[in-house]
Amino acid sequence: MTSLDSSPDSSQDRKIIGRGSLGDGVFKATVTSAAALVLVTLGLILVASVYQAWPALKHAGINFVIGDRWVPHEMIFGALPFIFGTAVTSIIALIFAVPIAIGIALFTTEYAPKWLRTPAITVIDLLAAIPSVVFGLVGILVVAPSAFTFYDSIHNAVGSIPLLGTLFGEPTTSGRTFFTAGIILAVMIIPIVTSISREVFSTVPEALKQASYALGSTRWEMIKGSVLPHSFGGLVGASMLGLGRAMGETIAVALVIGGATQITANLFDSGNTMAAVIVQQWGESSGVHTAGLVGIGVVLFGITVTINLLARVVVRRTEARMRGVGA
């Protein structure tokens, strides 16, 4: 492909030297099969999961994703409440996390003085290093119990306004709600959205920024006019990666969402998500119930993989385009 600038130890050169061809062959076969393991695993996940989930998927048919009742011992498999809960909690998480993450990324790339840059990045790294189950623990024992009064005062304030009254309805006394789960998820996805946003911002050509300053822009006008428009695609990709992470998060959500199987517009009510219901019901499941849970896993796998693929494509496109402009 790029034969001119490829390293000189490519296969043609090797033949001229005429040494090590057997060792190289064995070595190359070994490392290639190691890399191919990624493809094998992904393929196996799909095949094995669909095979295992088949009894439930076949029994429920299209109702598996549009049915709103989940009563496994009566062979009723409708996963819509869990799909709904996954969507709602992820959207809440994105609404909070994306502006904050973009703000942090801008702060570390454009605003922070040098001495503050490394500590700021370290904080984000540490946030990413905290295991999700610890967020869940703090969520269920600290955040949820104190959240009720907060939710209650919001409900009292806006409860009589038509649309807001529906969204912020009567809160569950445990504080384990869609909203609590969304907030915890937001904290958990801030690091990934921030780090991708930083990468995207770093590809904005310096010349563009300088040109904007030369025209008399303030710092904010420079960001609004040069940095943000050129990063837009990449930021969308970063948010989608965060969305993928939020949808797949299991343990923290399982602890704080309350575990009710229902579809409600009330964000202060209990619900469940696809990932959380699997781990909650796994212990007491058997037979076709297990198949149903694996089926939820298959749906979740499909959705998250699609979102991740799309996000990677978007981010790569932006970066490639930016590098082209910058060169």
The 3-state DSSP class for residue 308 equals helix
Cβ-proximal residues to 178 (8 Å cutoff; 6+ apart), any chain: 85, 88, 89, 92, 257, 267, 268, 269, 270, 271
Q: Cα(46)–Cα(50) distance, rounded to whole angstroms?
A: 6
Residue of 310, 309, 281 lying closest to 294 (CA atoms): 281
Position among 2, 3, 160, 286 found at the interface with other proteins (CB under 8 A): 2
**Three-class secondary structure of residue 17 per DSSP:** helix
144 contributes a contact to other proteins by CB under 8 A:
no
**If DSSP codes are grouped into helix, strand and coil, which group holds residue 47?**
helix
Q: Which is nearer to other proteins, 155 or 176 (CB)?
A: 176
Site for other proteins in 6-45 (CB under 8 A): 6-9, 13-14, 17, 19-21, 23-24, 26-28, 30-32, 34-39, 41-42, 44-45
Residue (266 or 280) nearer to other proteins, CB: 280
Among 189, 208, 227, 255, binds other proteins (CB under 8 A): 255
Query: Using CB under 8 A, which of the segments 68-76, 77-85, 116-124, 262-270 binds other proteins?
Result: 116-124
CB of 208 to other proteins, least distance (A): 18
Q: CA-CA distance, 262 to 273, in Å (whole number)? A: 10
Half-sphere exposure of 317 toward its Cβ, with a 13 Å CA cutoff?
13
Q: Which is nearer to other proteins, 72 or 244 (CB)?
A: 244
**What are the C-alpha distances in Å from 60 to residues 57, 113, 230?**
5, 58, 46
Using CB atoms within 10 Å of the CB of residue 147, give its burial: 0 to 12 exposed, 13 to 18 middle, 19+ buried: buried
Nearer to other proteins, 250 or 272 (CB): 250
Q: Per rule CB under 8 A, is residue 117 in the interface with other proteins?
A: no
Question: Which residues lie across from 76 on neighbouring strands?
Answer: 71
Within 161-220, the residues that bind other proteins by CB under 8 A are 187, 190, 194, 216, 218-220
49 touches other proteins (CB under 8 A): yes
Spatial distance between the Cα atoms of 154 and 164, rounded to a whole number of angstroms:
10
The yes or no reply on residue 133 touching other proteins (CB under 8 A) is: yes
Residue 219 or residue 317: which is nearer to other proteins going by CB? 219
Cβ atoms of residues 259 and 248 within 8 Å: no
Task: Name the minimum Å distance from CB 42 to other proteins.
Answer: 6
- Residues in 260-279 that interact with other proteins by CB under 8 A: 275, 278-279
Rounded Cα distance, 127 and 139, in Å: 15
Among 134, 215, 320, 325, binds other proteins (CB under 8 A): 134
Put residue 216 in one of left, alpha, beta given phi > 0 → left and psi -120 to 50 → alpha.
Answer: left
Q: Given the complex with other proteins, which of 14 and 321 has the nearer CB atom? A: 14
Q: How many residues bind other proteins (CB under 8 A)?
A: 96
Q: Which residues, numbered 60-89, are part of the site for other proteins (CB under 8 A)?
A: none
Q: Does 1 bind other proteins (CB under 8 A)?
A: yes
Interface positions, 231-250, toward other proteins (CB under 8 A): 241, 244-245, 247-250
